[in-house]
Amino acid sequence: MTKSLQELVDANPDAETFRFGDGPKLCAEILALVRSGIKTATCEAASAYGKGGDAYPEIGRRDIALNWDGTPALMIETVEVSTRRFDEMDAEFVAAQGEFRDLAHWRKDYEAYFRRQGGFAPDMKIMCERFRVVEDFA
């Protein structure tokens, strides 16, 4: 029997819910990469967390990744969290994100993403998270 989002949240009260990407197509593509094991890391502008935003990821916390329609897709567990500047990103972390050919491709796509989200600067702080899949609700 498939659990509802509310049942999952009730069973995991510390869990955050989130969507990968900023649209239905990108969300589905990223979820497929996570399910395949290719994507084991992600990042976001550090400014997206805290007051008025999501709680900053914590090692050991389990969060619920949603399909674009808001239904549960996956439960992930954070295994590492770090903060760095956009211009300090390295090829090893980019490879763990699974979506990019190389560091230059990551920079191009993430700069465009951050601009769509309302702000970009080469020295902006970004949260870098490594995770593992705990449960797939598909």
pLDDT digits (tens, 9 = 90+) for 79-113: 999 999 999 999 999 999 999 999 999 999 999 99
Q: Give the domain 5-136 fold.
A: Sulfate adenylyltransferase (3.10.400)
**Reduced to 3 states, what is the DSSP secondary structure of residue 11?**
helix
Residue 55 pLDDT class (50, 70, 90 cuts): confident
Closest of 15, 45, 39 to residue 27, by C-alpha:
39
Residue 121 burial (CB count, 10 A): 12
pLDDT for res 1: 57
Return the residue matching tokens 């439960």.
75
Quote the DSSP letter at residue 49. B
pTM of the model: 0.91
Q: Are 74 and 64 in contact, with CB atoms under 8 Å apart?
A: yes
